[in-house]
Chains A and B, each alone.
Chain A
Amino acid sequence: MTLDEATPNGDLNPYRDAETASGMTRRRLLAIGAQGGLAIGAGSLLAACGASGSSGTTKAATAASGTAVRGGTLKVGMITGGSAETLNPGAAGPWVDILRVYQLYDFLFDPGFGQDFTALVPRLATSAEPNHDASVWTIKLRDGVHWHDGKPFSADDVVWTIGTWSNVANYANSYVAPFIDFKRVRKRGRLEVEIPLLRSAAEFPAITTVYSLAIVQNGATPKSFSTNPVGTGPFKYVSFQPGSQSVFARNPDYWDGANTRPYVDKVIVTSSFQDETSRYNALQGGEIDVSGVIPGTFARQAAGSSINLINSPSGSGQCFTMRCDRGPFADVRVRQAMKLLCNRQALIDGVFPGYAAVGNDVEGRFTKYYDMSLHPTYDVEKAKSLLKAAGQQDLNVTLQTSNASPGFTQAATLYAQQAAQAGVKINVQTLSPSVYYTSAGGYLGRAFGQDDGNSWASMMLVAATYFVKGCPYDETGWTTQPGGGDQALVSQAIGELNPSKAQELWTELQKKWQSEDGHLIWSWANFTDAAANKIHGLSGGIAQPLNNFNLVDAWIAE
């Protein structure tokens, strides 16, 4: 019995919180797994999924209302990324870049369209088999896929793409460099690639779902992405002007189209909007059909109109960050106190009312090994006693925030008011958005700040991002604190192939992170988008906003 068969994911209502899915909660599922009732080894899991056919038709069938209609031009409005916008997956940054990447390219695997990330969906890869200790992975590739220029997709393309990931200028590098032994990556056949790793990684395929790791054509360079980006995705490049607009045309030979998808003839992504008001006006006026990635602070306004609001839970954590290795929060009791005096629901009510869920300080929501039994506690008295024990009963700290992300400054202000109840004085310092995420602005080094995260496809990805020595985003100093942050335990969890044992290890780590790490994740902000009434086929997604950015499912009918 495979995991897919054990999980009644027939109900794909994205508006339902994953923790309360009818019939099969994550906790029950994990309990079954622990009893060995399921064959959930990584290789067999993915192979079983590969036999289930195209994931695209499953998404469209449940998300659409009515019969899909061919034709038309879909106009999407996104907040601008300015001249920094790019069609290079390895340099994609703002949401508009990620949206475009999903139209032009494909990935080896996809996190899936379900209520969690339990089962990766094969895309350009059909299976991934580990060796005995998950230190070498053999990836089998899909046959019959063609690039937009007609050339056949093959192992050469994957080997070339992995080579681009080895470049430190490529954003993918920070995710894969701790794992992939680039020099030994080789093709073993026309449609087979062997990827040796630097360390055992039981969930290695999950890394390939990150948006920076789209598969590009053999020989593609950063320069070629500017002039003629070629992918295997549902749409082909027509034109692109950074900070203004891109035009993509339907790919009639799309391998996952079943001769029908994509439904629309053209996708125009307009990215000249600098604020939500003008974008909302454009949606109302029909200049655009879809507004992708609306901040929760604005969603309430959009929801009251005749526009359809697409609202979905996500794994995008909104957090305060505290340094574990120096400064006022080096004492774990102080960090614990700060978590205890945070009234998370009140923050949500003030910042994203109705468009977020309470966070529990642990990244990795919806992932396979995420422990949903960990809940936050709100206890001001206990916080006071911890602060007193640590000699910090009159704690006075500066919280650096910015308008760089929606809701940051509002949350900072509200949290400062809450902290005052416990005698903690928080001075909110607002930095310019243009410097907040730079080293000049103190990013990745500030004693007390804010950040937001992504929806991660696996706990391994969470660890590789925040908790492994040398990781790219160790903003709480977890790995540089005395003791080094349980690196041995992290490595053991990453390499553990036995799901039951892996669950034990990840649960132990999550408890440590919740109790001791400097991330105070107060909420999981929903993904919210808006669409005109004539747009169908788009629903919520937990991996990415706007139908997991799969515009291939969209169709237009008045």
Chain B
Amino acid sequence: MSVAGANPAPLAESGTELVGAPVGRGPRLLRKGPFSRHPLAGFVVRRAAAGLVTLLVASFVIFLATNALPGNVAETVLGRNATRASVAHLDRELRLNQPLLQRYGTWLGGAVRGDLGRSAVAVAQQDTQTSVGAIIGKPLGNSLILAAITMILLVPLSLLAGTFAAVYAARPPDYAISYTSLVFGAVPEFVLGTLLIVVFFSLLGLFPPVALVPPGTSPLSDVNALVLPVLTLLGVSLAFCARQVRAGVLVTLRQDYVTMARLGGIRESRVLWRYALRNAVAPSIQSFAQTLQYLFGGIIVVETLFTYPGVGSLLVQAVSTRDVTEVQSITLVLAAAFIAINIVADLLVVALVPKLRTQV
């Protein structure tokens, strides 16, 4: 039986060296570089750089999509109250009379400095508060809170349900967990949410049917109002995440080292926690990341159903009031969040799987 590392690595060619134990298709050849001694740091830097490039491309697409459509932005914002004079005024205020690329550069430069521009509608109405950053701050925070609460519950529930289902695979507990979560996962959010309202509000009178958050207050000031929205989001997300965990645990439980651990007399719970779960959860991290991306900006249906003032509702409102500048800035923020979540997910996977730290 060969033991990894028993045979010394072959001599390297000049200017390169072989790194890591032989894994997969063989040792990787890397040229010496600034991160050759710290491959993990190199991975982080490369991922961040790729993320920035992706964000740059996304920003251009977003800007183009919202500004290059037929029709004048000022006319679109002013709607049925557009007159020649009011359109010209708004064109000047929003610099819409500048070339497209110049406007893009101004907008992007401002975004890099934290200035997301001015709301077209607020400018049209000559409001005091026209900063998009100030307008979206509270809804963004509200969405973060709802997403955080949901994730805090979703992750352990998914791990528990998925692991339990895998341990009892092809047996009644597995069927019960899998099919129940599938039923809830297959039902659209508004149906599940409405069902929860009927049961917990109309019939039982336990929780309010809406989650109004008055200005100046935090969603956490009335936790009761968050119960039904969180339950709805858990219901539609749990199936996806739990099944990912189940699949990962199933595969891992069949590995030789797990069998060896069991044969060695190690307690089953330790086998699961120490040997299986850590490796099994790595593939599930991407599903958690996808769910977090959905929770952050994609839950407009739930926000509408429960009248929860999140960033999804704000985006829809901005679209309905034809506030082009607000739409493009909110979309950019959401794109940045999506990219950041992906990067963090990749890093978490590397953190959980040590052998990947030398392969990145």
A interface residues with partner B (beta carbon < 8 Å): 80-84, 86, 88, 91, 93, 168-169, 171, 174, 221-223, 226-227, 239, 241-245, 270, 272-275, 277-279, 281-282, 284-285, 287, 433-435, 437-440, 443-444, 473
Contacts and interface: CB of A to CB of B under 8 A. Distances in A.
Contacts, number: 128
A437 B317 CA distance: 16
Given A244-B309, A274-B313, A278-B307, A84 B83 contact: no
Contacts of A226: 127-129
B323 interface: yes
A282 B210 CA distance: 6
Interface in B294-337: 304-307, 309, 313-314, 316-323, 326
A274 B304 contact: yes
Nearest to B215: A241
Contacts of B202: 284
In the A-B complex, list the 3 residue pairs whose CB atoms are closest, starting with the nearest. A440-B71, A222-B126, A82-B317
B75 interface: yes
B79 interface: yes
B274 interface: no
B122 interface: yes
B208 A438 contact: no
A439 B75 contact: yes
A104 to B, nearest CB: 16
Contacts of A174: 81, 83
A438 B127 contact: no
Given A274-B304, A275-B304, A438-B71, A83 B209 contact: no
A212 B80 CA distance: 14
Given A226-B129, A285-B208, A439-B75, A171 B323 contact: no
A434 B320 contact: yes
B12 interface: no
For chain B, give the interface size range: 35 or more
Contacts of B197: 281
B125 A88 contact: yes
Interface in B259-292: none
Interface in B207-244: 208-210, 212, 214-216
A243 B317 contact: yes
Contacts of A245: 214-215
B135 interface: yes
B82 interface: yes
Nearest to B76: A438
Contacts of A438: 71, 75-76, 79-80, 82, 322
B89 interface: yes
Contacts of B71: 435, 438-440
Contacts of B122: 83
A444 B72 CA distance: 16
Given A168-B83, A281-B197, A440-B71, A435 B318 contact: no
Given A82-B321, A438-B76, A439-B82, A273 B119 contact: no
A227 B89 CA distance: 22
Given A281-B209, A443-B80, 18 more contacts: A82-B121, A83-B326, A86-B125, A86-B127, A168-B83, A169-B85, A223-B128, A272-B212, A274-B317, A277-B305, A282-B209, A284-B202, A434-B319, A437-B80, A438-B71, A438-B80, A438-B82, A439-B75
B81 A93 contact: yes
Given A284-B209, A438-B71, A440-B71, A83 B86 contact: no
Nearest to A227: B128
Contacts of A272: 212, 307, 309, 313
B70 interface: yes
A211 to B, nearest CB: 13
B104 interface: no
7 contacts: A81-B321, A171-B81, A222-B127, A278-B304, A278-B305, A439-B82, A443-B79
Contacts of B319: 434
A171 B212 CA distance: 32
Q: Which of A242, A282, A444 has the most CB of B within 10 A?
A: A242
A310 B86 CA distance: 38
B201 interface: yes
